[in-house]
Structure 1
């Protein structure tokens, strides 16, 4: 397997880490450079941004607030938004947002954005450090369909979730995720980092611009939000899956609800739960992230206990490697 994997990684120009685990047996390997300017290689314990993989963390933080009564599945988001974001339908609930069934307009609409490497945010990235600072860029997008009537993957909806979680709890979103997800799960290497202060063992994201590799520092918020941007390691991802299904983050009853199909997504051959992608016909649960200089996919099979994780610090390198791993049985 390793020889074939090496060839797939070479052909894809893959830079990142691969980890396959089952019953305590682990295969892991690092490829490429964490920092191209200084020639620092990726290692198996390098931290990577995971883009939308963060939505699972946001969903868990919100569900933990539902469990303790701070929020409910049926809480109307208008009750916490007040006069902010007036184009959001007053009937939209926390449950609609978790399941991507809110129908609200999306500030980062992936059906419209065709070139992730060319996209830039409408405000300077250094202005997006805290969740309340997102409010102006979330505004101005009309409702697309009545809440609850359809599925539409929505980045803005998860920023709104982070916003109302903050307002309901009185605790900042980043601290909520740390205290309610990372700490109970035992994720020692998972946190929201500033892109201008990444620290050691952390991969810089790269994208091709004008024939050269450049960092993604001007393309993403300086600190991640509800829709993406947390950093983690391959080992922490495996730890996350174990903690999640063991009921150490939220109760097993809510775990079952979060991985129950709430929508069919036939165009992707997938289904969607609450914060998690689901295979179209098996028990596989997935988190996937894609952004400028970031690609990530982790697939966990509860029935077999197999976890396959690929983290990368380029926009596209992960996908050929993840496809290869999908056919490997440990």
Structure 2
């Protein structure tokens, strides 16, 4: 599994990449390096131990929190969302199920414009007012976009709704639920939901532009929620994949269901229940992009291969991602 590390470093350097990269196969670290600054104002460099925002990458954590409740009989994949919504969000079709939401096939309205510029202010009000899925309820009261189960379309609102359902079903605050049922069983000690107004020195600020001090603090909720926003390190990403593949987070039968493409998925980018499953088969992926954040982490269980790119500037990770994707395709033949 020879990796052209010189070409990878050149791609990072030529494109002004700021973040961290780690590649590991069969227990051997093939590459680990950080680039750029975690804090530009104070000249603090990124390192392999820096915590970076995951954006939508942590939707996978939401899915696993829900699946762990399914494993314990607290929820069921075929439960209607209405079971926990009661009279809230009356425009959501009563036929929408947990399974629909996990596979982006619910048809519920979308509260976030994924096609907007990455420096756009997408949420109304102050970012400090969004600390729980309950805070998003007024934004989720939207008309249905499609019949439940009829088609696949990526939906942030559906995952916020999942977090709301899981919080109500368990009686545990969403972020604590993920800590208890995902992060701790996986042994992730440097992954968490960090508040942007009290980031530790180990976390990278997210920057909107090259050579600028403008950060994303007013663009994203002050604390990550069910559709994304946790922080992770490149090493913890590897630990997460190994724990998932070993059944340490949820039972292996649920991992199998999670990693099976849902009906109506994109042929080039299939999706399971909370995971992207890029072709060729057998690849699992977490993907995220937001103001000042970009990430992708892939794992191939059959080859014990993991690569992770975490960036703390908008639109900076693409060249490294493409380089590693092509390498992965070459490895898998």
Q: TM-score, normalised by structure 2?
A: 0.94
Q: What is the match of residue 79 of structure 1?
A: 83
Partners of 2:151 and 2:264 within 8 A in 1: no
Q: What is the match of residue 130 of structure 1?
A: 132
Query: Which stretches of structure 1, 4 residues or longer, exceed 3 Å deviation after superposition?
Result: 263-267
RMSD: 1.4
Per-residue deviation at 1:136?
1.4
Cα distance in structure 1, aligned partners of 2:132 and 2:112: 17
Partners of 2:185 and 2:248 within 8 A in 1: yes
Partners of 1:109 and 1:155 within 8 A in 2: no
Report Cα offsets for 1:180-227 as digits up to 9, x if no partner. 000011000011010111112100000029x84410000000001100
Q: How has the CA–CA distance of structure 1 residues 265 and 148 changed in structure 2, closer, same or farther, with 3 Å as cutoff?
A: closer
Q: What is the match of residue 291 of structure 1?
A: 290
Q: What is the match of residue 323 of structure 1?
A: 322
* 2:175 pairs with 1:171: no
Partners of 1:120 and 1:218 within 8 A in 2: no
Higher strand share: 1
Q: What is the match of residue 245 of structure 1?
A: 245
- Say which of 65, 72, 94 aligns to 2:69: 65
The secondary structure found in structure 2 opposite 1:215 is: coil
Per-residue deviation at 1:119?
3.4
Report Cα offsets for 1:248-300 as digits up to 9, x if no partner. 00001000100011145437x11000000001332111100000000000011
* 2:5 pairs with 1:5: no
Q: What is the match of residue 184 of structure 2?
A: 183
Q: What is the match of residue 236 of structure 1?
A: 236
Q: TM-score, normalised by structure 1?
A: 0.95
Cα distance in structure 1, aligned partners of 2:263 and 2:117: 27
Partners of 1:216 and 1:293 within 8 A in 2: yes
Gaps of 5+ in 1: none
Partners of 1:100 and 1:157 within 8 A in 2: yes
Q: What is the match of residue 90 of structure 1?
A: 94
Cα distance in structure 2, aligned partners of 1:76 and 1:2: 49
Q: How many residues align?
A: 325
The secondary structure found in structure 2 opposite 1:28 is: strand
Cα distance in structure 1, aligned partners of 2:178 and 2:315: 27
Q: What are the equivalent positions in structure 2 for 1:1-330 lying under 5 Å apart?
A: 1-26=4-29, 27-110=31-114, 113-139=115-141, 141-208=142-209, 212-266=212-266, 269-328=268-327
Partners of 1:17 and 1:310 within 8 A in 2: yes
